Structure 1
Amino acid sequence: MNEKNHLFKGYESGAVDYLIKPIEPLVLRSKVRVFCELYAQRMEIEYRKVNLEGMVRERTGELSALAENLGQECKVRQATEAALKESELRLRQLNEDLEGRVEQRTLELRRAMDQIVESEKLASLGGIVAGVAHELNTPIGNIVMMASALGDRLAELSKTVVEGTLTKSLLFASVDECINASAILVRSAQRAGELIDSFKKVAVDQTSQRRRVFDLRETVSDILHTLGTAMRHAQVRVDLRIPPGIEMDAYPGDLEQIFSNLIMNSIRHGFGAGGGHIMIDARQLQQQVEIIYQDDGAGIAPELHRKVFEPFYTTKLGQGGSGLGMFIVHNLAHGVLKGDIKLDSACGKGVTFTLTVPAVTP
């Protein structure tokens, strides 16, 4: 093996510091430089190792602390979740209890409201009774007066017959007076009968809640008759434009209650001392009937429209207004007649209520 082969063999064996003689300065400098670089690299590696170990220890400490904190947080979270579940259970129980109380209170309130509404209906019916009684005074008074006058005349005629002083002219005059008195009696009795019939229809319809087929114009006319006294005292004129022949299969008592409340609302809130005018019209719209009620009273400001049908809302609190009249109208229109009622009004321009209901109540 020659010298060059020995040299490479030494390098392959790891003898990087292997030198041959004679020593070559260039080779020596090269090896010294390599060893210096290796030493520097080893020192840098050692430095990095120390730094890395320090960083690992630091990160390990941080991770240990984090793991400990995480464990504590897990415990806190578990405790929080347990408390939350307990709170949710209690809240659910409270909600169920509250729902039960609300349902009970709502039922009690509905019963109380129904009683108030029924009382209002009876009060309205009582007003109708008073009006009819006042209306009956005139025909009954005429009947009593004519019957008394007729009795007196017949007594005088009987006396002349007994005394023999009866003359033909006296007989004819007495007969004429009796015929006239009889005609007045018949007309007064018929008027009283009409009033009683109207009241009976209204009273039976409003108290029995019975359903029947009826003519709309006749039913509205009946309620106008029963409210005649109140309308005359308030100087209210009613223009009934409903055409005959509009038949409905519904609850006339509730419809009469609606018109009674609308009319009394106009009298109490719409008209002043000078009275006013009411127009009632209707038309058939296929399976529905549209009824229009108008007055030329004070009107209602647009911002108050949404309050009109609310219970206990009244501008006459303490002056005889209960605040339930229009609430009853709304409930009857929607709940019983299965229809809808809309208000159109402005201050100083009267009111228009449009009631749309099925011709045959479902």
Structure 2
Amino acid sequence: MDANKIPVLMVDDRPENLTALAALLSDMELDLELVAANSGNEALRQSLKCDFALILLDVQMPDMNGLETAALLRTNPKTCHLPIIFVTAGMNEKNHLFKGYESGAVDYLIKPIEPLVLRSKVRVFCELYAQRMEIEYRKVNLEGMVRERTGELSALAENLGQECKVRQATEAALKESELRLRQLNEDLEGRVEQRTLELRRAMDQIVESEKLASLGGIVAGVAHELNTPIGNIVMMASALGDRLAELSKTVVEGTLTKSLLFASVDECINASAILVRSAQRAGELIDSFKKVAVDQTSQRRRVFDLRETVSDILHTLGTAMRHAQVRVDLRIPPGIEMDAYPGDLEQIFSNLIMNSIRHGFGAGGGHIMIDARQLQQQVEIIYQDDGAGIAPELHRKVFEPFYTTKLGQGGSGLGMFIVHNLAHGVLKGDIKLDSACGKGVTFTLTVPAVTP
């Protein structure tokens, strides 16, 4: 496979149909790599080799038909996310269409195929695939930057340790000359102060890189979330157009009946309702992401409702939580207003949730509860999960930089360190941990309702 091309899998048992599909897609402006499969089994093998942007799947095939192939693709975690468009002459009945959607299809095309419709639908999913690949590429670059900054920080820490050893040795060797010792001390203290300043700057850069990496993960999740409502909009708009075309034909031919008119109106109303719901869902996702992205990148201070802000970050992390089978019970009452930095508060919740997913929960997922109450000029926020918990002797290490139980497995050891710094440094509050092995964790964050 060419990494610079967008792979599309075409599945049909008739070579002439595959040739026709390839011809219809060959003159698109997108750089496509068309892969042909002449059976359901071959399609399954190809899907395991490559992450396709789209599968164009025929229904009526011998041995394993398209519905069976789609169902098998949905049961495999590696291929369950692949968009499938049925390309067939055998799905013009409503019950056939429902079977296709139940099997995991996002759309269908009835033969003979309209070239413009085919290219439009292929373009939508290929552009989504290209955007997802771009997000993955940027995420990898951000992870590389974090690793590079971590190496620099380790080197600075080692240099600082060596400087301290030199200072101790110098003090022991120059006791006879107090003036010279004082001068050496002053010089060494200046160097230590400079190194400490450099270390602090390096740490700040690593924290910013970690926040950008977290935002990159949120971008990937939102892009994945948008696939469903956008796919529904494309599908229902196409179906609505086809139904109106059929209704227009009956009017022209004079075969329109009252029952047919009522049935067509009902279908159009249902399709319109689905279009509105899908558009609203996409709008809500985009609105939540815009709020989170602006807050986390601008460091702006504003008045906000605590429940709405936490709800926004939960929306943007929806994909990660569903994949990890995590349920969140948001109990924060409406009306708790804060004058603070919502971006930093969102970063705290993002790190806490991802920490629960990576360290607290196993393959079976888990449950998270988020509650809050206002105590005069303070706001107390309680975060709980029912995961593996943390041994009491490790509590003091949790907020230390670079401490992680997942070293080499995607954990940087900076998540809880960032939480501690934001809670104390930016929000001027306090965070406490209560946990035991096998009993989950409870974090209590207490911050001023108006940040000083």
Q: 1:167, CA displacement in angstroms?
A: 2.6
DSSP 3-state at the match of 1:231? helix
- Point out which structure has higher relative CO (alpha carbons under 8 A, 6+ apart): 1
1:85–1:25 CA distance, 2 compared to 1 (3 A): farther
DSSP 3-state at the match of 2:411? coil
Of structures 1 and 2, the larger Rg is shown by 1
Q: Distance in 2 between matches of 1:159 and 1:2?
A: 16
Q: Distance in 2 between matches of 1:318 and 1:170?
A: 64
Report percent identity of matched pairs: 100
DSSP 3-state at the match of 1:205? helix
Q: 1:106, CA displacement in angstroms?
A: 1.2
Say which is worse superposed, 317-326 or 93-102, in terms of deviation: 93-102
Counterpart pick for 1:303 among 357, 381, 393: 393
Q: 1:307, CA displacement in angstroms?
A: 0.5
Say which is worse superposed, 158-167 or 41-50, in terms of deviation: 41-50
Q: Distance in 2 between matches of 1:153 and 1:120?
A: 50
Q: Distance in 2 between matches of 1:29 and 1:301?
A: 57
DSSP 3-state at the match of 2:110? coil
Q: Distance in 1 between matches of 2:169 and 2:324?
A: 76
1:92–1:193 CA distance, 2 compared to 1 (3 A): same
Q: 1:91, CA displacement in angstroms?
A: 1.5
Say which is worse superposed, 319-328 or 274-283, in terms of deviation: 274-283
Say which is worse superposed, 214-223 or 160-169, in terms of deviation: 160-169
Q: Distance in 2 between matches of 1:163 and 1:6?
A: 27
Q: Distance in 1 between matches of 2:111 and 2:286?
A: 154
The answer for the alignment partner of 1:97 in structure 2 is 187
The answer for the alignment partner of 1:68 in structure 2 is 158
The answer for the alignment partner of 2:76 in structure 1 is none
DSSP 3-state at the match of 1:99? helix
DSSP 3-state at the match of 2:177? helix
Deviations 1:68-115 (A, max 9, x none): 999999999999999989722221221121112111111111111111
Say which is worse superposed, 308-317 or 84-93, in terms of deviation: 84-93
DSSP 3-state at the match of 1:47? helix
Q: 1:133, CA displacement in angstroms?
A: 1.1
**2:332 touches 2:372 (CA, 8 Å); kept in 1?**
yes
Q: Distance in 1 between matches of 2:169 and 2:222?
A: 77
1:51–1:173 CA distance, 2 compared to 1 (3 A): closer
The answer for the alignment partner of 2:332 in structure 1 is 242
Q: 1:256, CA displacement in angstroms?
A: 0.6
Q: 1:34, CA displacement in angstroms?
A: 147
Q: Distance in 2 between matches of 1:226 and 1:48?
A: 18
Q: 1:158, CA displacement in angstroms?
A: 2.2
Unaligned segments of structure 1, at least 5 residues:
none
Q: Distance in 1 between matches of 2:194 and 2:305?
A: 42
DSSP 3-state at the match of 2:109? coil
Q: 1:50, CA displacement in angstroms?
A: 104
Q: Distance in 2 between matches of 1:71 and 1:45?
A: 39
Q: Distance in 2 between matches of 1:183 and 1:246?
A: 34
Q: Distance in 2 between matches of 1:180 and 1:17?
A: 17
Q: Distance in 2 between matches of 1:261 and 1:74?
A: 34
Say which is worse superposed, 337-346 or 87-96, in terms of deviation: 87-96
Deviations 1:265-322 (A, max 9, x none): 0010001111111111111111101111111111111111111000110000000000
Say which is worse superposed, 130-139 or 311-320, in terms of deviation: 130-139
DSSP 3-state at the match of 1:53? helix
1:146–1:91 CA distance, 2 compared to 1 (3 A): same
The answer for the alignment partner of 2:294 in structure 1 is 204
Q: Distance in 2 between matches of 1:235 and 1:288?
A: 33
Pairing 1:148–2:215 present: no
Q: Distance in 2 between matches of 1:238 and 1:157?
A: 46
Unaligned segments of structure 2, at least 5 residues:
1-90
Q: Distance in 2 between matches of 1:35 and 1:132?
A: 15
1:67–1:3 CA distance, 2 compared to 1 (3 A): farther
TM-score, structure 1 normalization: 0.75
Q: Distance in 2 between matches of 1:177 and 1:3?
A: 14
Deviations 1:169-215 (A, max 9, x none): 22222221111111100011001111111111111111111111111
1:239–1:163 CA distance, 2 compared to 1 (3 A): same
1:102–1:174 CA distance, 2 compared to 1 (3 A): same
1:60–1:348 CA distance, 2 compared to 1 (3 A): closer
Q: Distance in 1 between matches of 2:170 and 2:251?
A: 116
Q: 1:4, CA displacement in angstroms?
A: 176
Say which is worse superposed, 59-68 or 251-260, in terms of deviation: 59-68
Q: Distance in 1 between matches of 2:116 and 2:238?
A: 167
Q: Distance in 2 between matches of 1:92 and 1:360?
A: 46
Q: 1:162, CA displacement in angstroms?
A: 2.8
Q: Distance in 1 between matches of 2:266 and 2:105?
A: 169
1:113–1:161 CA distance, 2 compared to 1 (3 A): same
Q: 1:168, CA displacement in angstroms?
A: 2.7
Count of matched residue positions in the alignment of Structure 1 and Structure 2: 362
Q: 1:62, CA displacement in angstroms?
A: 69
1:116–1:2 CA distance, 2 compared to 1 (3 A): closer
Q: 1:30, CA displacement in angstroms?
A: 159
Counterpart pick for 1:331 among 421, 440, 449: 421
Q: 1:348, CA displacement in angstroms?
A: 1.0
1:34–1:229 CA distance, 2 compared to 1 (3 A): closer
Q: Distance in 1 between matches of 2:311 and 2:390?
A: 27
1:5–1:83 CA distance, 2 compared to 1 (3 A): farther
Q: Distance in 1 between matches of 2:99 and 2:254?
A: 189
Q: Distance in 1 between matches of 2:100 and 2:258?
A: 183
Q: Distance in 2 between matches of 1:30 and 1:156?
A: 21
Q: Distance in 1 between matches of 2:134 and 2:248?
A: 158
Q: 1:143, CA displacement in angstroms?
A: 0.5
Q: Distance in 1 between matches of 2:395 and 2:203?
A: 22
